[in-house]
Structure 1
């Protein structure tokens, strides 16, 4: 199956290619504003995924677009991609010794039919307390860049453990939920193309 991925994320692309999807990358360019205060994390990621998919569908006019948005939720606040090293350090310190919800909003949008389906997947990770040396090494590595919460389970970061839910969701694309969406909405992928 061919998908247009509305994201430049190499992690999402890799997950899709490993699952056998043919991928064309077309980043949406949609701004991802940082919320001013507490927001509903599920609504936030669902809306952003839809906006990204809709933006790509509007300019292309055909094809099956997949968009996703991932965030970490802790105490009613969202921990998106850190803007710099200090921000990454503050995020890590806030999560240490805690369980954190990882939410990804998905949107499949069939541009030529103006039909779409969406879902939100939630996983829980435990972030263990780090020594100062471990935290410094992680910050020095730069592996926090471009990652919600300032870490990635795919990097084998030893301080993050998936407690429940989908591992691929924590990476940024819940493959099980994507497969379910495709099964539940066959017209999105089976409809004749113009």
Structure 2
């Protein structure tokens, strides 16, 4: 029996470092130039990797940007939910945080990339599933706030009302550029909580 065993792959090894460097490069380039202001070569140079690595791993620049958008969304979803003891205040803090994310150049570009990728993806594809998964997690977090409020005895809207009256307007304002996403949050929340 041989004492030589195959080398073990370590989590967080070279592949993870390359992925992190490429994601960081994409985020920086989007913040500086917007989504259409850079190429795969620009990302490779910024990340210190070979351009072929990007296309071998992600297939296209659009796939890479989508991967970054999903990763950023998942990070944002990991932030703790507000728990003030009031649904109005919880929604206000949560919506303000979301509006700030959407208003940032990087956030807006990544959202637009995700929307475009979703529109271009066949239903059930990996790309469409990634975006749907992130949206489902966001909805689950909102439901948690609603459930907590219900346990406290507050009257609460249903999830679809919060999505239609609060979340959708924030995204529409950010994507189409009319008004600032954080503008009139109190009015949106009043509408969301109205009978």
Q: Same fold (TM over 0.5)?
A: no
Report the structure, 1 or 2, having the larger helix content: 2
Structure showing the higher strand proportion among its residues: 1
Report the TM-score, using the length of structure 2 for normalisation: 0.29
What TM-score, normalized to structure 1? 0.29
* Structure of higher CA gyration radius: 2
